[in-house]
Amino acid sequence: MTNSEFSSNKGPTTLAGASAFPQAIPSEPSSDGKRILVAAPRGYCAGVDRAVDAVEKALELYGAPVYVRKEIVHNKFVVETLTKRGAIFVEETDEVPEGERVVFSAHGVSPAVHQEAANRQLQTIDATCPLVTKVHKQAVRFADNDFDMLLIGHDGHEEVEGTQGHAPDRIQIVNGPEDVDKVEVRDPDRVAWISQTTLSVDETMEVVHLLRERFPNLVDPPSDNICYATQNRQVAVKKMAPLSDVVITVGSANSSNSVRLMEVALDAGAGASYRVDNADELQPEWFEGATTIGVTSGASVPEILVRDVVDALKVHGYTEVVPVTTVEENVQFTLPKNLRADLKEIGVEPDRPRRERVAGGNGQVSNARGTGNIIK
């Protein structure tokens, strides 16, 4: 495919790009004080944007079908949209015909999955979020130094399975406080913890506190495992929730970070908290007597779904839209290396400059255009 063919082959809209850095939502004064608080940041994180972009560009470059192992991200709308464009989602690599192309999801995979793909001569595009890859590398380093690791996360979640697969003999999964007393290790002085990147920050640190009571010399990971986007979205919801009669989180039921946002909102003081996949799931009785509605979305949710929810609320008189901003994100990750190389070969330079996220002083996170607190 040539550069001109690639450009002309693009559809009218893409799921990637705009959702990562949403524009302001139009607002009109409300005569009766009804308003919508919209959390910022919300929606797509850099890892999700990269993964979705990888599938879209693979479809444009190579043509359909492009196979994807597991859901590329945990969002029903994204998966259904990509399926219509020619992506075929499978559970395991043995469902992919030999020699075909397969994309690994943002949640990451184990070395065993990479080997299975190689055995079947599959052409792989690894869309694992770089922040998940960082946790994989931590697990390998701890294992190489003969540590037992306690992986705080949800058993059965794709990310947890992928991380555990990097050191299966050294990692135990801790689902929550109820699992702390069940942990058995070889040496209580050589124990480290790591975590799933999309958990509630508060919930994770509660488990760490309990683990440290059992293992006083418990070693922390060298850097935060809870990703910047998960932290930032939870901080924004904590600021918005006490001001809201009702908080609506847009996100799918299998999205860990979306479910956590719904829970965080309730814990932070929202009068009520609900999760919806889209505007069609809104229930009028949720808003009876409510003046202020808070809206946020999980890190795998395209902005179009948030706009649909806001538009549905405007029909019921909530015309004033007020952003609640805690940090302005400006993080992007480059596309997977082999996909990027194939694009360059036909003269296409993906417009995805890499902007590093760096830790500043006093527990701040610099995203080049703002700062946000890391909750310890």
In order, the DSSP letters of 160-202 are HHHHHTTSTTTEEEE-SGGGGGG---S-TTSEEEEE-TTS-HH
- Calculate mean pLDDT across residues 266-286: 97
Q: Given this model, what pLDDT does residue 18 score?
A: 55
Residue 4: is its pLDDT beyond 90?
Answer: no
Query: Cis before residue 65, ω within 30 degrees of 0?
Result: yes
- Catalytic-role residue among 56, 60, 158, 159: 159
List, for residues 118-137, the tens digit of each pLDDT value. 999 999 999 999 999 999 99
Q: What number is the average pLDDT over the span 298-323?
A: 96
For helices 228-240 and 201-214, angle between their N-to-C axes, nearest 10 degrees: 110
* pLDDT tier, 117 (very low <50, low <70, confident <90, very high otherwise): very high
Q: Is 276 helix (H, G, I), strand (E, B) or coil?
A: strand
Could you tell me the pLDDT band of residue 73, with boundaries at 50, 70 and 90?
Answer: very high
Mean pLDDT score of the chain, rounded to an integer? Answer: 90
Kindly state the DSSP code that residue 374 receives in the 8-state scheme: P
Q: Any catalytic annotation for residue 159?
A: yes
| Per-residue pLDDT tens digits for 206-239 | 999 999 999 999 999 998 898 999 999 999 999 9
Cβ atoms within 10 A of the Cβ of 56, count? 22
Q: How far is CA 177 from CA 212, 214, 220, 221, 281, in A?
A: 12, 12, 17, 19, 32
Q: What is the pLDDT of residues 317-361, one digit of tens each?
A: 999 999 999 999 988 899 999 999 999 999 988 765 444 433 333
Q: Is the pLDDT of residue 282 over 50?
A: yes
Residue 16 pLDDT class (50, 70, 90 cuts): confident
As a whole number of angstroms, the distance between CA 11 and CA 73 comes to: 21
Cα separation of 105 and 128, whole Å? 6
Predicted confidence at residue 159, as pLDDT, reads 97
Cα dihedral 9→15→16→17 (10° resolution): 100
Q: How many CA atoms lie within 13 A of 254 on its CB side?
A: 15
Res. 88: pLDDT tops 60 = yes
What's the DSSP call for residue 332?
B
pTM: 0.88
Task: Give the pLDDT band of residue 13 (cuts 50, 70, 90).
Answer: low
Residue 84, phi then psi, degrees to nearest 5: -65, -25
